[in-house]
Amino acid sequence: MTTTVYLDYNATAPLRPQARAAVEAALELTGNPSSVHRYGRAARKIVEDAREAVAALARAKPAEVVFTSGASEANAQALTACGRSRVLVSAVEHASVLDAAPEATRIPVDREGIVDLDALDAMLAIDRRPAVVALMLANNETGVVQPVAKAAAIARRHGALLLCDAVQGAGKLEIDFASLGADMMSFSAHKLAGPQGTGALIVSEQVEIGALIRGGGQERGRRGGTENLPGIAGFGAAAEIAAGMRDRVRIRALRDRLEREARARVPEARIFGAGAPRIGNTSSIALPGRPAATQVMALDLAGIAVSAGAACSSGKVKASHVLEAMGVGPDLADHAIRVSLGWATGEAEIDRFLEAWSAMARQPVAA
């Protein structure tokens, strides 16, 4: 059956028409943004207009925006090219952060998934080596929002830098790069309903950072290689829409309705992070006795796309390190799915999910 209900926006959002149009227009151009002739200048204008749009999304300065191939590259550059010998990351960070610094010290979180600020303070105090701290703005599995500004203040007191992975928060939360106190911030275009393969790292003017990819001197020497003009154009269009957060209230109401009716229909269901501040589009729901992989497959057969709490690059379901860090046992963690809504989600999609999910919950559990 062809998927007719898409509820996996945190994995990738359907491309907005405005972003598609921007990509198509850029594909019609021939120039290299580094060339000085009229073709090059036309291409450069697209890049710089997009840079301004991405900067506006974070209330940052255009000069602070470095275009990358995505947030994974941005996070890797931030953690490995910032000149800091010690790395601390929250235990619930995205794999692109955890895998970029496998030896990093893990900062614990509480049962709602919120970072332990006292633990961060103590960890930084016992080791005076120059450090960088990674703390996401909003979690990709649970939607839990982190106290980034408070963590940044602690980091600054100890002379540490702070990277904020803002991928899931962009377009769902008000973001002010300077007010948050972050030194670096990462974004991904396809989470904003832009094209895949494009992202950005915002770097404070006070921070020196090296290039992860060298050659050509693009992005003011911070990222070599000819710019991905169509991707950047689409990113800019998507960022401009996301900055307005047009759908935030409507989507939160849909998510809240989904959770409310899911609990009413299946009282044993458990929603993770519900006691903490969350972005309004994400729900992590566990159904005891139903493995996540089984739920995802059953819903897919019903024409509904969701994801398990965590999936590796091969598409296989694996245990969620986020729920594990929150103290959730495998009897629930292995039975959690993530439902994430977005700009094209409506009441009909919520109806379809609730009908299929509750019908699956009523089926006898295989012995």
Model pLDDT, residue 1: 46
- pLDDT of 151-171, one tens digit each? 999 999 999 999 999 999 999
Which of 1, 126, 249, 312 is labelled catalytic?
312
Which has the closest alpha carbon to 142: 259, 39, 229?
Answer: 259
Q: Higher pLDDT residue, 217 or 261?
A: 261
pLDDT attached to residue 3: 63
Q: Domains of the chain: which residue ranges?
A: 5-13+246-362, 17-244
pLDDT at 246: 83
pLDDT band at 216 (very low <50, low <70, confident <90, very high): confident
What is the arithmetic mean of pLDDT over 57-76?
98
pLDDT at residue 191, as a whole number: 97
pLDDT in tens, 284-305: 999 999 999 999 999 999 999 9
Averaged pLDDT of the chain? 95
Q: CATH for 17-244? A: 3.40.640.10
pLDDT at 363: 85
The pLDDT assigned to 136 comes to 98
CATH number, span 5-13+246-362: 3.90.1150.10
**pLDDT digit string (tens) for 179-212?**
999 999 999 999 999 999 999 999 999 999 999 9
What is the percent of the chain with per-residue pLDDT over 90, rounded to a whole number? 92
Q: Is 312 a catalytic residue?
A: yes
